[in-house]
Amino acid sequence: MSKLRVAVVGAKGRIGSEAVRAVEAAEDMELVAALGRGDKLDVLVESGAQVVVELTTPDSVMENLEFCVRHGIHAVVGTTGWTDERLAQLNQWLADSPETGVLIAPNFSIGAVLTMKFAEAAAPYFESVEVIELHHPKKVDAPSGTAARTAQLIAAAREKAGSAPAPDATATALDGARGADVDGVPVHSVRLRGLLAHQEVLLGAEGETLTIRHDSLHHSSFMPGILLGARKVGAAPGLTFGLEHFLDLNG
């Protein structure tokens, strides 16, 4: 059987360099291109890439995806910084290339995907919920894409269940003391040398708390999700947001 032709864009970065190694080691894949900043995107077409793994920065990702979608190359995207406007733009490009698939995964690690799922399930049963994400100090953005997505899923679950807003009588003396407000859920960002990627969801009710914590200790934690995404994205035209859509979490 022929191998899946995969390219990595952002190949010299922290996660991109790990993805290059993972694709090279996958028996069913061939790494046909590994692009860094300044490399010409035309290489993707010339190399016959079927799937691009996009792991760059929020400033670069849109240009790269526009190129991929216009050339019918499927994309697996880990880069963060997604807004409704950006997603709408991407959907417009995809409308003109209806057979192309794009997977955007705020987090490729199975533990993080499950954290989001567990938090969504638990959120309606507790009065209070807050998210703390903790990352290495070179992380380009805050809050993390995972924390933003977790808070959105929590807020949607609470709205669906008719939950009241979390109680909070705090008068803040300093801006930011209560974190960022993502759909009504406070999200706190820690940047600390020694850390990689971690998240806690704190839930509280009368007389009890529940803490859901996930730790990515090495970039290898993201690789099975990236490879799974690369294998499946070609059969999923349009935009898929979240790796959970490619996993059978109920089986």
Ligand X SMILES: NC(=O)C1=CN([C@@H]2O[C@H](COP(=O)(O)OP(=O)(O)OC[C@H]3O[C@@H](n4cnc5c(N)ncnc54)[C@H](OP(=O)(O)O)[C@@H]3O)[C@@H](O)[C@H]2O)C=CC1
Mind telling me the catalytic residues? 135, 139
Q: Which residue in 64, 80, 115, 240 binds ligand LZUJQKHR (CB under 6 A)?
A: 80
Structure tokens that stand for 162 in this block: 């008719």
Q: Which residue in 50, 64, 107, 189 binds ligand LZUJQKHR (CB under 6 A)?
A: 107
Residue 9 interaction partner, one of ligand X, ligand LZUJQKHR, none, beta carbon < 5-8 Å per kind: ligand X
146 contacts ligand LZUJQKHR (rule: CB under 6 A): yes
Residue 135 interaction partner, one of ligand LZUJQKHR, ligand X, none, beta carbon < 5-8 Å per kind: ligand LZUJQKHR
Query: Any binding-site annotation on 13?
Result: yes
Residue 47 interaction partner, one of ligand LZUJQKHR, ligand X, none, beta carbon < 5-8 Å per kind: none
> Strand, coil or helix: what is 85?
helix
Query: Any binding-site annotation on 214?
Result: no
Rounded distance between C-alpha atoms, residue 180 and residue 131, angstroms: 10
86 contacts ligand LZUJQKHR (rule: CB under 6 A): no
Rounded distance between C-alpha atoms, residue 41 and residue 63, angstroms: 10
Structure tokens that stand for 114 in this block: 């499950």
- The answer to whether 199 and 214 are in contact (CB under 8 A) is yes
Strand partners, 249: none
Q: Which residue in 74, 117, 135, 158 binds ligand LZUJQKHR (CB under 6 A)?
A: 135
Strand partners, 198: 134, 215
Q: Hey, how many other C-beta atoms are within 10 angstroms of the C-beta on 68?
A: 26
Residue 72 or 137: which CB sits closer to ligand X? 137
Least distance (Å) between residue 97 CB and ligand LZUJQKHR: 26
Instruction: Lay out the site mask for ligand X across 72-91 (x = CB under 6 A, - = otherwise).
Output: ------xxx-----------
By Cβ distance, which residue is nearest to ligand X? 13
- The answer to whether 9 and 75 are in contact (CB under 8 A) is no
145 contacts ligand LZUJQKHR (rule: CB under 6 A): yes
Rounded distance between C-alpha atoms, residue 125 and residue 244, angstroms: 22
- The answer to whether 59 and 70 are in contact (CB under 8 A) is no
Buried b (16+ CB within 10 A) or exposed e, 201-221: bbbbeeeeeeebebebeebeb
Query: Any binding-site annotation on 179?
Result: no
Which amino acid is it at 58? P
Rounded distance between C-alpha atoms, residue 178 and residue 154, angstroms: 17
Residue 16 interaction partner, one of ligand X, ligand LZUJQKHR, none, beta carbon < 5-8 Å per kind: ligand X
Residue 46 or 99: which CB sits closer to ligand X? 46
Q: Which residues bind ligand LZUJQKHR (CB under 6 A)?
A: 80, 106-107, 135, 139, 144-146, 197
Annotated binding site for (S)-2,3,4,5-tetrahydrodipicolinate: 136, 145-146
